[in-house]
Copies of this chain bind each other. A is one copy, B any other.
């Protein structure tokens, strides 16, 4: 039966394929397809994990028995008995066999999929108290997952299985398909995807993503955009409504998911999909056209990238450089194990070399808030993570770690033009600490005789306080880059990932425009470059206004560059300026934007 689910579309375009469900789990597990000859091994891994947990619980029972009733309540042993029963239930291994054999899911994916099936029995119970008993099942599953992880890591504690090790099978294998059509496109459906999952799927086989949670700036959304794959986030209960293998249409433009479409609807969306491809190929002709306004003003169009490999994507889109290389990918899904200098240096260097002499702006790490390092860390330790320890605050809290990143950036600069960008600065003390650590990194490298390059240093303007002390920022930095997403969030005190207030998140709010315009104007007045690297830069509806306010450098997702270039080519900067000033001074700027 056809039905549709509404959420937030994060990447334009249409995706059509069959649903692959990823069950959520408190343990950060890898999801990938295995080769047919690995089936027996994967089933065995689950069995070994289960047996390890059974042994552990039996051991616990013995130690509990040795305690007197004063130290250990007698009910505890009975509880452990129930957990043993749950573990020994043949439904677990039976189900795992199904998922591994029929779907070629890896062991962890199979186990969490089976947990989901069994948990549904509980979910369907009328009594809330009975439903809550599910927790025991989840806990023992979690314990089995951890036992399996420990085994894979040779008993050692917490190294994450690197994506790279798994990607060949991801490319090669596909799940069994009832129709026998081996090339069916696949759409991933999940409650939530961890940053690690997204990095994994980045090299994967999926043509679209759907998640129950997440906003337009969630990590899932950012990665989906960077892959230029249609995605809908914030789709509420999609992961419960959609079933394995359902046909799915994702309309990224409208933020709609259509499940089990009728042939007529399917045909319509296949038409739309072709139309989208056509428009895209038409824009592609602008690739080598210089971005110059009608009145001859050159405009710099840069790319935001996520990983070194995205540099190729940026070049294909005609980017004149990278305006924002997010370094988070190096820090995520690593269970607290941070990347060392060599690993960072190599990654930055790959991006620099990938851009063939065009400048690459590396932003120091911005974790925290909606970008925690591990999905396990998301369990709300802080009431308002967006107002907490993130980005430069997090870096300065661990100077040795930050120094490692600064050294890696300086060393990468020996291989091509590099700029450095510091996120979330708001205090003079932070500016001074940052620049002093950078100086220390330069001195150290010099003393050690390691090659380094000259690096321009810029600051993100994304906290109102920063936009209100521009003179200070311009005294200390070579250039500024406006992060409009956060700047809007803090200026309006609106978390746009929060559905109850998302309608108040307004890039055209007069206060936001004033801070953006002030930053552009102050930079021009002092002869220093100002760029916009937030979503505003890639929004074709904003291009003319930003040009009119004097912006000459835009950094955006590569997929947006050609459409923005088209706007630039059509614009007469001198003629737009008075209109832009009018918009800026209006109490209701949106009303003037029709023009």
Interface residues of A (CB under 8 A from B): 56-57, 60, 63-64, 71-76, 78-82, 85-86, 89, 91, 118, 121-122, 124-125, 127, 129-130, 132-133, 135-137, 139, 143, 369-370, 380, 382-389, 393, 397, 424, 426-428, 430, 463-466, 468-469, 472, 486, 489-495, 497-498, 500-501, 504, 506, 509-512, 514-515, 587-588
Residues of B within 8 A of A512 (CB): 465
Is B492 a contact of A426 with CB atoms below 8 Å?
Answer: yes
- Bound: A369/B495 CA distance, A: 12
Residues of B within 8 A of A469 (CB): 510-511, 514, 587
Contact among B76, B380, B426, B427 with A380 in the assembled complex (CB-CB below 8 Å): B380
7 closest cross-chain pairs (CB), A and B: A387-B495, A465-B511, A468-B511, A389-B500, A464-B464, A384-B495, A380-B380
Pairs A–B under 8 Å by Cβ, sample size 13: A73-B118, A73-B122, A380-B383, A382-B495, A384-B384, A384-B385, A388-B501, A426-B492, A426-B509, A427-B492, A464-B490, A465-B492, A472-B587
Is B465 a contact of A79 with CB atoms below 8 Å?
Answer: no
Residues of B within 8 A of A76 (CB): 122, 130, 133
Is B427 a contact of A383 with CB atoms below 8 Å?
Answer: no
- Bound: A426/B490 CA distance, A: 11
Contact among B71, B89, B118, B587 with A428 in the assembled complex (CB-CB below 8 Å): B587
Residues of B within 8 A of A57 (CB): 129
Is A493 a contact of B383 with CB atoms below 8 Å?
Answer: no
Q: Which of A63, A397, A501 has the most CB of B within 10 A?
A: A501
Contact among B60, B127, B515 with A130 in the assembled complex (CB-CB below 8 Å): B60
Is B143 a contact of A388 with CB atoms below 8 Å?
Answer: no
Determine how close the nearest CB of chain B comes to the CB of A513; give it in whole angstroms: 10
Residues of B within 8 A of A56 (CB): 129
Is B121 a contact of A143 with CB atoms below 8 Å?
Answer: no
Is A493 a contact of B426 with CB atoms below 8 Å?
Answer: yes
Query: A81's closest neighbor in chain B, by CB?
Result: B78
The verdict on A387 contacting B494 (CB below 8 Å), with A393-B504, A469-B510, A587-B428 known, is yes
Apart from A79-B82, A426-B493, list 19 A-B contacts with CB within 8 A. Answer: A72-B125, A73-B86, A73-B91, A74-B85, A78-B81, A79-B133, A129-B143, A132-B139, A387-B489, A387-B495, A388-B495, A388-B498, A397-B500, A426-B494, A463-B492, A464-B464, A469-B514, A472-B587, A490-B491
- Bound: A428/B590 CA distance, A: 12
Is A386 a contact of B384 with CB atoms below 8 Å?
Answer: yes
Residues of B within 8 A of A122 (CB): 73, 76
- Bound: A512/B426 CA distance, A: 11
Is A387 a contact of B386 with CB atoms below 8 Å?
Answer: yes
The verdict on A78 contacting B72 (CB below 8 Å), with A135-B135, A490-B464 known, is no
Residues of B within 8 A of A79 (CB): 82, 133, 136
Query: A73's closest neighbor in chain B, by CB?
Result: B121
Contact among B121, B133, B465 with A491 in the assembled complex (CB-CB below 8 Å): B465
- Bound: A129/B125 CA distance, A: 26
Contact among B71, B468, B493 with A463 in the assembled complex (CB-CB below 8 Å): B493
- Bound: A121/B468 CA distance, A: 54
- Bound: A387/B383 CA distance, A: 11
- Bound: A425/B591 CA distance, A: 21
Residues of B within 8 A of A497 (CB): 383-384
Is A498 a contact of B387 with CB atoms below 8 Å?
Answer: yes
- Bound: A389/B424 CA distance, A: 24
Residues of B within 8 A of A428 (CB): 587-588
- Bound: A426/B127 CA distance, A: 44
Query: A56's closest neighbor in chain B, by CB?
Result: B129
Q: Which of A57, A143, A493, A515 has the most CB of B within 10 A?
A: A493
- Bound: A127/B59 CA distance, A: 11
Determine how close the nearest CB of chain B comes to the CB of A388; give it in whole angstroms: 5
Is B382 a contact of A498 with CB atoms below 8 Å?
Answer: yes
- Bound: A511/B464 CA distance, A: 8
- Bound: A133/B140 CA distance, A: 12
Query: A466's closest neighbor in chain B, by CB?
Result: B511
Residues of B within 8 A of A506 (CB): 427
- Bound: A127/B57 CA distance, A: 11
The verdict on A504 contacting B387 (CB below 8 Å), with A133-B79, A498-B382 known, is no
Is A493 a contact of B490 with CB atoms below 8 Å?
Answer: yes
Residues of B within 8 A of A136 (CB): 75, 79
Is A383 a contact of B424 with CB atoms below 8 Å?
Answer: no
Residues of B within 8 A of A86 (CB): 73, 75
Determine how close the nearest CB of chain B comes to the CB of A60; give it in whole angstroms: 6
Residues of B within 8 A of A515 (CB): 468
Determine how close the nearest CB of chain B comes to the CB of A199; give it in whole angstroms: 22
